[in-house]
Chain A
Amino acid sequence: MSEAVIETTKLTKEFIRDEFHVVALKDADLTVNRGDFVALMGPSGSGKSTLLHLIAAMDRPSSGEIRVLGQDLRALTDRAIAHWRNAHIGFIFQSFNLLPVLSALENVELPLKLTNLKGAERMEHAATALKLVGLGDRLGHYPRQLSGGQEQRVAIARAIVTDPDLILADEPTGNLDAASATDVLTMLARLNKEFGKTIVMVTHDPHAASFATRVRHLEKGLLLPEGQAPEEWNAAAAHPGSEG
């Protein structure tokens, strides 16, 4: 079965100010099916984050169509989008973005505050999510008491605690050392394989991309056809470990 979770046609995002006009994403046609783990790759400034932000409805496209989980995002109001995102999307940031004044458990519980769950149930769900990422013994720790890898695992727990249909990650290993990065990627792969989560992950790193089931490349705002990669990337892939 190949139910489309993300479908974009001619998706375009331009940034226009008096002084500049940037086409960050041009006519992107992307289909992601349920159960896919897609890596979006490309050099800096190629439009990877822009595409991810459009999928998460964190920004609105300039033109083109975008349906995520069957929902036409352009039809939703700000308020409806907030609700939709809470219910269906789990987002993982490069720099973790945990709230420093909240403990690991409270950070993970936060998205559940918007659901109808009772306090005790929320705690239970949050604790379960933290156990799943291997932090069952760090519930009361604050972000400053955790390592970068642990922080990102808390962020993963926060992203999955609502049991979202789609997990989006923007360079989730960008701030991590190699060992922690592998932990995080293994975890994402496991969420994909064992729990059937659909994942879209932006990354520079071919090693990270190797955990995905599909890779799509972007170059200067263009989404290259499936299976096609820019020349310089092919060169870098030939010598793993030398990329920046």
Chain B
Amino acid sequence: MAIPASYNLRNLMVRKTTTVMTALGIALTVAVLLSVLALVAGLRQAFASSGDPRQILVMRKGSTAELNSGVTRDVYQSLKFMRGIARDAAGQQMASLEMVTVINLPSVDSPAGMNVTLRGLLPVGIAMRPLKIQQGRWFQTGRREVVVGKSIAKRYPGARMGQQLRFGKGNWEVVGVMDGGESSVNSEIFGDLGQISSDFNRQDGLSSVLVRAVDAAAVPALIHSMNDDRRLNVTAEKEQAYFDAQTSSGAPLQFLGIFVSVIMAVGSSFAAMNTMYAAVARRSKEIGTLRVLGFSRGSIMVSFLMESLLLSALGGLIGCVLVLPLNNVTTGIGSFVTFSEIAFNFRVTPAIMASGIAFALFMGAAGGLFPARMAAKKEILTALREI
């Protein structure tokens, strides 16, 4: 058995101020890391929830985003009748021709307005997505009506039920608010394909086609035949794969966040090291006494390392508590793929908190190692003589 941990805990409590200051440094570092991780997790969640495993997104060959893709109605007609495409209850092919563009909505928090994805689509396109009407009703074909995602309704006062939006060639009435679960649809505005494409003079310059295969197993073959058809000149990929790639919007932020927290971690480790060196120096006589009582160099080492780990675990816990209020806070991020805003929630998951604690413990171990080694290396008589 080793030197009891209560000995370390009480020593941490005795030097309250140093403990709290060091732990706070670690806590801030952990908080920075965790907020970035929570942001990326939220972003990932938003995109991961988008997409049906049976569905294929078709864009012009070489396009990586719907925004810079272009497909014609001819292509749509050809795709629609390919083998392996599912049909709805009415016997209609489940293939949705869609037009995507970005419009600017005035916003309270940004005078320049916010870019929002506008999607014109056929009714089948709605049926192909797991959408619920939260408020109002769906738009009607042939009318200047739109339905807004719930995140948009929340963030843009001008885009609530019953309001008029100005874009294209005139006003559009918001007739409903849709709920796409956690998916990125919450950050989009939907309207009738015919109306929207004519407002933007793109009757035959549409963006993409979403098709559903009879089942997930049929998807690869269908993708193959689409990609191989030279006349179609399209790139087909799984809808989920497309959304997965969109998660890269968070990559620069993730990189920056991790970079900053690593720099901070170096600082926090040195702070912990400083604190622990001071503790070793101040408790030199105790170290000598413990050795005289029969504790080995190893248990002295473990004890001081343990103290550093306890200190950093405290910091990690405080860090978790600091970021916890972020959980489910909605934020927006400018997507580098769609050039529009995607709203999503921070997600502080247990796994993320665990990684924060692990990060803190890592700082504690890094900072505690050398002081603990110094404590263990002391000769008994030298240790006893120091005050």
Contact = CB atoms under 8 A, between A and B. Distances in A.
A93 B293 CA distance: 11
Interface in B285-343: 285-286, 288-298
B381 interface: yes
Interface stretch (B4-12, B21-29, B61-69): B4-12
B297 A99 contact: no
A108 to B, nearest CB: 11
B380 interface: yes
Nearest to B8: A101
B297 A78 contact: yes
Interface string B261-289: 00000000000000000000000011011
Interface stretch (A3-11, A80-88, A207-215, A217-225): A80-88
Task: Give the secondary structure class of B's interface.
Answer: helix
Nearest to B293: A111
B293 A102 contact: no
A97 B381 contact: no
Contacts of A87: 294
Interface stretch (A35-43, A52-60, A65-73, A185-193): A52-60
A79 interface: yes
Nearest to A91: B292
A101 B381 contact: no
Nearest to A162: B294
Interface string B1-42: 111101100110010000000000000000000000000000
Interface string A106-118: 1000110110000
Nearest to B387: A95
A111 B2 CA distance: 10
Given A82-B291, A93-B289, A113 B2 contact: yes
Contacts of A113: 1-4
A91 B11 CA distance: 24
Most A-side CB within 10 Å, residue of B292, B297, B298: B292
Contacts of A106: 4, 6
Nearest to B9: A101
B295 A99 contact: no
Contacts of A79: 296-298
Nearest to A86: B294
Nearest to A116: B1
Contacts of A204: none
Nearest to B12: A101
B7 A114 contact: no
Contacts of B379: 59
A101 B3 CA distance: 13
Contacts of A93: 289, 384
A158 interface: yes
Q: How large is the interface on B (under 10, 10 to 19, 20 to 34, 35 or more residues)?
A: 20 to 34
Contact of B293 (A53, A86, A100): A86
B294 A102 contact: no
Most B-side CB within 10 Å, residue of A83, A97, A106: A97
Contacts of A100: 14
A64 to B, nearest CB: 18
A117 to B, nearest CB: 9
Contact of A82 (B2, B3, B11, B294): B294
A158 B293 CA distance: 9
A24 to B, nearest CB: 11
Contacts of B288: 97
Interface in B48-98: none
A56 B292 contact: yes
B381 A85 contact: no
B351 to A, nearest CB: 35
A100 B286 CA distance: 9
A65 B293 CA distance: 24
Contacts of B285: 97
Nearest to B2: A113
A58 B14 CA distance: 29
Nearest to A109: B4
A113 B6 CA distance: 13
Most A-side CB within 10 Å, residue of B2, B3, B288, B293: B293
B346 to A, nearest CB: 40
Given A58-B381, A86-B294, A114-B295, A102 B289 contact: no
Given A53-B381, A58-B381, A59-B381, A110 B293 contact: yes
A92 B384 CA distance: 13
A111 B294 contact: yes
A22 B381 CA distance: 16
24 contacts: A56-B292, A58-B291, A58-B380, A59-B379, A79-B296, A82-B294, A82-B295, A85-B293, A86-B293, A86-B294, A93-B384, A97-B285, A97-B289, A97-B292, A99-B290, A101-B7, A101-B10, A101-B14, A102-B7, A110-B3, A111-B294, A113-B1, A113-B2, A114-B295
Interface of B: 1-4, 6-7, 10-11, 14, 285-286, 288-298, 379-381, 384
Given A83-B296, A93-B384, A97-B384, 9 more contacts: A58-B291, A58-B380, A78-B297, A97-B292, A99-B290, A101-B7, A102-B6, A114-B1, A114-B293
Can you list the 9 inter-chain pairs with the closest CB atoms, starting with the nearest?
A: A86-B294, A101-B10, A97-B289, A82-B296, A113-B1, A58-B380, A111-B293, A85-B294, A91-B292
